[in-house]
Amino acid sequence: MNITASKLYDYMQCPHKVWRDKYGPQDEKIKETNPFVQLLWDRGVFYEKEVISKIGDFLDLSKGSLEDRFKKTIEAMKNDSPLIYQGVLMTDNLVGIPDLLKRMPDGFYVPIDIKSGMGREGVDEESGSEGKLKKHYAVQLALYIDALNRLDFENQKIGTILDIHGNNVEYNLNESLGVRDSTTFWELYEKILNNVELLVRNKAENKPAMASSCKLCPWYDSCKKWVEESDDLTGLFYLGRSKRDILNEDAHVYKIQDILTIDIENMMEEKKKNKEMFKGIAQKTIEKIVARAKVLKEDKKPIIYDKIEFPKVSYELFFDIEDDPTQEFIYLHGVYERSDSGEKFLDFTAKEVTPEAEKKAWHNFWQYIRSLPKDDFAVYYFAPHEKSTYKRMQKRYPDIISEDEVISFFEHDNVIDLYTNIILKHTDWPVSSYSLKSLATYLGFKWRDETPSGALSIQWFNEYIKTGDESILKRILEYNEDDCKATMVLKDGIEKLN
């Protein structure tokens, strides 16, 4: 079976997916493409077209059968064609379609991929950090380079990413992954290629594992069912694939129920004697895992480890933003306000994808915050996303609010990240995920929308922008309002646990 760049990408997202795609129960796979995944795909295609329309002369090999395109690609490279679009590289079991193949002065070819994302990760202008090469870009380029090498059209291990800002980012695959890891990107590629080959030939098999990447995956229902039926350890909150595999191999613990029988003292003794055992699982981690398993399997009710005092104030705000990370655009700041005069929802919405509209919504939000009685209001939100997004927004629109004001807003004792500061540190719940949806649903809250999700909201927003259909905007606002209300239900629920 052929190995493509997208198979390698899939493996990096989830090592199980490659196997399940070929050998999993096909009738359990969701057939429709997730609308958010489609949106990302369309955006990538659109960006690629935009770049290509400005790139000048090239040989277009994007049409026809794979075999035909492969023959033409080889012919074109033999004839020193300077730039080839969507050429096909086929050799052994590798099939690669780099966006561009560029002839270098020495006659060899370099693959170029056009990406609607940044060419590097962790770029920080403030600290001057140039960031690192992205592993998944590197591995995809490596497949093209490997094919070119095998076909004798490339003698180095270098590719290029043409990124969202028009930068040509060189990917030298002889570079190591980082200062602490001397593995090169090429070695990483070879390892992944080998694993993928084994999986597609059914010479190796691995297990599903519930993780954040599952949400957009067509196998979500199928893998969730498997995890539940087998009582797999990844059904326990925060116990991911790597810890699951270690507990399977080193402790022969395969079910959440069996976690309750773990002798922590004994385990730590074994770890002391043999450093290879229980790697990455410290005493505190295993204590937490055992405590969570107990709440899930025995207590079957939430538990609070310390008394939590929430601020006594006149106004409580439950706050949630909606943003489209694919175009770094914040389109909605939602607040559900509770005070002596009742409850109401306020939205600060950008109804166009323009900096002016985004800035106006952000300005109006801060005007509202400034209108509240100083130190007599509390703000509740769920997870650090709001805080990190607002820090970035401040840099984009520094005339709306100063950096100090944003920092002191989030550092105020009355501004509380319920997930990071309360849920994670002081509570445990008899559910497998501690997402807002899962916890508020456990407490009896119901979203008006049947399939609420942030990813869908982004898709709706893009549809609203395209069509101007007010019923779509209503759906976005209702979803955001319900998220804010769910945050309120959660805060109240935590208070009752005291």
- Enumerate binding residues for ligand SF4 (CB under 6 A): 14, 16-17, 20, 208-209, 213-214, 217, 219-220, 223
The nearer residue to ligand SF4, 156 or 433, going by C-beta atoms, is 433
Nearest-approach distance from CB 92 to ligand SF4, in angstroms: 26
Dump the DSSP string for 198-222.
HHHTTS--------GGGGG-TTHHH
Nearer to ligand SF4, 225 or 297 (CB): 225
Residue among 235 and 454 whose Cβ is closer to ligand SF4: 235
Instruction: Work out how close the CB of 16 gets to ligand SF4 at its nearest, in angstroms, rounded to a whole number.
Output: 4
Distance (Å, whole) CA 113 – CA 97: 9
Reduced to 3 states, what is the DSSP secondary structure of residue 276? coil
Smallest separation (angstroms) from ligand SF4 to the CB of 262: 24
CB of 21 to ligand SF4, least distance (A): 8
Tokens of residue 297, six digits: 């399997």
Residue 432's identity, in one-letter code, is S
- List of E strands, 120-231: 120-121, 132-133, 158-162, 168-172
Quote the least distance from Cβ 30 to ligand SF4, whole Å. 10
Judged by beta carbon, residue 61 or residue 217, the one nearer ligand SF4 is 217
Q: How far is the CB of 137 from ligand SF4 (least distance, A)?
A: 20
3-state secondary structure of 241: helix
Q: Output the smallest distance, CB 447 to ligand SF4, in A.
A: 22
C-alpha distance from residue 327 to each of 99, 214, 354, 399, 457 (Å): 22, 23, 11, 22, 14
- Residue 144 CB, shortest distance to ligand SF4, in Å, is 25
Kindly list the distances between the CA atom of residue 89 and the CA atoms of 136, 161, 210, 301, in Å, as whole numbers in the listed order. Answer: 19, 18, 35, 57
Calpha distance 151→148 (Å, rounded): 5
Rounded to a whole number of angstroms, the minimum distance from the CB of residue 432 to ligand SF4 is 13
**What is the amino acid identity at position 490?**
L
CB of 460 closer than 8 Å to CB of 312: no
Measured between alpha carbons, how far is 54 from 236 in angstroms, rounded to an integer?
50
Closest CB 208 distance from ligand SF4, rounded Å: 4
> CA of 439: how far to CAs of 56, 63, 433, in Å?
54, 50, 8
CB of 253 to ligand SF4, least distance (A): 20
What are the C-alpha distances in Å from 314 to residues 32, 69, 360, 372, 378? Answer: 47, 69, 27, 10, 8
Residues 6+ apart with CB under 8 A from 451: none
Taking residue 480's Cβ as centre, other Cβ atoms within 10 Å add up to 25
Shorter beta-carbon distance to ligand SF4: residue 8 or 223: 223
Of 89 and 217, which CB lies nearer to ligand SF4 in the complex structure? 217
Nearer to ligand SF4, 28 or 250 (CB): 28
Comparing CB distances to ligand SF4, the nearer of 98 and 454 is 454
Radius of gyration, alpha carbons of the chain: 26
Task: Name residues whose C-beta falls within 8 Å of residue 357's C-beta, 6 or more positions apart in sequence.
Answer: 350, 351
Q: Does residue 258 contact residue 269 with C-beta atoms inside 8 Å?
A: no
Q: Is 147 or 223 the residue whose CB approaches ligand SF4 more closely?
A: 223
Instruction: Kindly tell me which of 14 and 141 has the beta carbon lying closer to ligand SF4.
Output: 14
Of 23 and 305, which CB lies nearer to ligand SF4 in the complex structure?
23
DSSP, collapsed to helix, strand or coil, labels residue 170 as strand
